[in-house]
Amino acid sequence: MKRFLSILLSVLLLTALLSACSDTSSPSNTPNQPNNNTSSTNSGDSGQSGGDGNDPENTDSNYGKIDMDEAPYTLNVCFPAVGSVPQDLPLIQEKLNEITMREINVKVELEAVALFSMANIYSLKASSREKMDLICMMPGANHMVNFANSNLIQPVDSYLAEWGSELIEVTKKYLPTGQLRGLQYAIPANGRYRSMATGFGFSVPLADKHGINIDSIKTIADIEAAFEVIKTNEPDMKVIVAPETAGGGVIYSLYPKVDSAGINGVEVYTDTDGSIKVRLSAEQPEYMEAAKTIRRWFEKGYIPKDVTIMLDGATALIENGAAFATSVASIGPAGRSINNGVEIRHMMLDNANLMTTTADCQLILWGIPTTAERPDKSMQFLNLAAGSEEISNLFVFGIEGKHYEFADNGGVNRISGGGWEYYWMVLGDSFKLHMFDSDIAVAGGSLPNLVAMEAAWEADTKESPAFGFVFDPESVATEIASTNAVGQEYTTAIGNGAVDPETEIPKMVQRVYDAGMQKILDEMQRQLDEWLARKNG
């Protein structure tokens, strides 16, 4: 299921990168000067100075109007890519420009940026003052604060007020996730649903083969019973693989989802007196109990002995019949996925926490560099995309008849070898997207069913008490680097049962505190208290 895989990859990339706890070093060679742009739009001023950009009641007759008579502006738009750039990028760009030239007098130049080198590429482009008008940050939680603190991106409040009516309508309450110190530095992409859940995925073919009723699996004891059936009847098979891709831990399917505020191992919680506080997850009894369970599974042989160095992703192993189950961090409304014809059904434990955090909404963020010559045009383009069904679908699916076609159920299928495959919803509004045929299939083949399932999921998902809080780690960068180094020594082994948690968790806790964890917690609590005071004041 391609759309599922795209979301899955995105979430796992976010999880993996956040495990490095937001590298707080400033991008190298980044210019540290304010934006001195004075390019005109309508009235001889920039979008930021064309009247009070923060005043939606501005009565200037030119306010919010696009000058279609001036020379078209060429807008460089950087977007993330993994591997080779889709071959039909020029066709997509050409089709996009038919819309942008007509609507906002802009010619767009799309530039694919390697996802795993994103920070370095943007920094080098900025330091050399290479043309760069709009940048996509992914995972945004790893980049926005660093880029704001190093002056690589600029506040966009006034541009948003003047040119972002569609953006404001589409992103609504999620805009604060792109803010820092009360200023809007980035615009979040609009996902159909903001949060996924953790749990387990089971191979339906293997379950059917051995008489396991996946729908009856509700507890840890039920999971273990299913594992034992597979272990007994398929002794050479990997029973459970951790996780969907290499590098994570089974423990996170047992421990409720938490809001880490961008710092790995930390969680925001509501105390008994109603106050919002931060603490270290590894000190909680629930964490120890989860670790003991994982250790038991490891010792029984359910978890492979080489789990900490495995490179193969669990989904591929299940598809190939080489594994029965996986730890899942991307359970969505449908509760299952279909990959290469193999169904994987998902389950969550009773303690699963359907919660939206700030980081969930920061997966994809758009920022305007300080070197951008026409920030007003950058915002106009984002705003146009947010309101355009054509642009939203163009960037994901390509051109109808060339890159995709509609199925009988109203979903779409990509045309093999069509020349455009892009699975991340980075541009536009996901609620304006067509649905993949395979997505509709997991909802019983009914598009209305899928829409209803997504709506119910969203209704059941609560917001973190710290939703909208963005931690600025600059003052504790050294401590974060030190605690990260300690965490990397312990968390994968503990999280997959490879070591005794009763001896190793206390060691890890002591060492992270020795490395400065208390200073991190104190600074996060201070910033959180200030944020809550502003929010509630």
Would you say residue 199 has pLDDT above 80? yes
Stretch 394-403: mean pLDDT, rounded?
92
The pLDDT, as a whole number, for residue 349 is 86
Please work out, in degrees rounded to the nearest 5, the angle formed at the alpha carbon of residue 57 by the alpha carbons of 54 and 62: 85
Stretch 255-259: mean pLDDT, rounded?
88
Report the distance separating Cα 141 and Cα 291, nearest Å. 27
User: What one-letter code names the amino acid at 236?
Assistant: D
Would you say residue 175 has pLDDT above 50? yes
With a CB cutoff of 8 Å and minimum separation 6, the contacts of 438 are: 1, 2, 3, 4, 338, 411
Stretch 474-488: mean pLDDT, rounded?
94
The pLDDT, as a whole number, for residue 177 is 92
- Please enumerate, as own/partner, the contacts of 244-247 that have beta carbons within 8 Å and a separation of 24 or more: 244/8, 244/12, 244/201, 244/313, 244/314, 244/315, 244/326, 244/327, 244/328, 244/329, 244/330, 245/9, 245/12, 245/16, 245/313, 245/314, 246/310, 246/311, 246/312, 246/313, 247/16, 247/19, 247/492
The pLDDT, as a whole number, for residue 122 is 96
With a CB cutoff of 8 Å and minimum separation 6, the contacts of 480 are: 21, 22, 24, 263, 473, 516, 520
Stretch 235-258: mean pLDDT, rounded?
80
The pLDDT, as a whole number, for residue 295 is 96
Closest CA to 257 of 505, 457, 15: 15
Three-state DSSP state, 108: strand
Paired tokens of 11: 């979430």
The pLDDT, as a whole number, for residue 534 is 87
Report the distance separating Cα 41 and Cα 56, nearest Å. 18
Q: What is the DSSP letter of 393?
A: H
Instruction: Kindly state the helix (H) or strand (E) to which residue 480 belongs, with its residue range.
Output: helix 477-495
Longest CA span, the chain: 77
Instruction: Kindly state the helix (H) or strand (E) to which residue 454 belongs, with its residue range.
Output: helix 447-460
The DSSP bridge partners found for residue 188 are 365
The DSSP bridge partners found for residue 221 are none
Would you say residue 43 has pLDDT above 80? no
Would you say residue 391 has pLDDT above 80? yes
DSSP annotation string for 282-323: GGSHHHHHHHHHHHHHHHTTSS-TTGGG--S-HHHHHHTTSE
pLDDT single digits (tens) 277-303: 999 999 999 999 999 999 999 999 999
Q: For residue 30, what pLDDT band results from cuts at 50, 70 and 90? A: very low
Check residues 500 and 140 and name the one with the higher pLDDT. Answer: 500
Would you say residue 374 has pLDDT above 80? yes
Backbone phi, psi, residue 500, to 5°: -75, 115
The pLDDT, as a whole number, for residue 351 is 65
Would you say residue 145 has pLDDT above 90? yes
Report the distance separating Cα 70 and Cα 128, nearest Å. 28
The pLDDT, as a whole number, for residue 179 is 93
Highest mean pLDDT among 194-198, 392-396, 408-412: 392-396
Would you say residue 467 has pLDDT above 50? yes
Q: For residue 243, what pLDDT band results from cuts at 50, 70 and 90? A: low
Report the distance separating Cα 457 and Cα 352, nearest Å. 13
Stretch 425-434: mean pLDDT, rounded?
87
**Number of CB atoms found within 10 A of residue 187's CB:** 30
Q: 108-117, 228-237, 415-424: which range is least confident on average?
A: 415-424
The pLDDT, as a whole number, for residue 193 is 65
Would you say residue 24 has pLDDT above 60? no
Would you say residue 332 has pLDDT above 60? yes
The pLDDT, as a whole number, for residue 28 is 36
Stretch 175-197: mean pLDDT, rounded?
86
Q: For residue 247, what pLDDT band results from cuts at 50, 70 and 90? A: low
Closest CA to 288 of 331, 319, 251, 342: 251
Instruction: Kindly state the helix (H) or strand (E) to which residue 79 belongs, with its residue range.
Output: strand 73-81
Q: What is the DSSP letter of 261?
A: T
For the chain, the average pLDDT equals 84
The pLDDT, as a whole number, for residue 310 is 65
Residue pair 521/281 in contact (Cβ under 8 Å)? The answer is no
The pLDDT, as a whole number, for residue 421 is 82
Q: For residue 392, what pLDDT band results from cuts at 50, 70 and 90? A: very high
Q: 266-275, 405-414, 504-513: which range is least confident on average?
A: 405-414
The pLDDT, as a whole number, for residue 513 is 97
pLDDT single digits (tens) 89-103: 999 999 999 999 999
Full-model pTM: 0.79
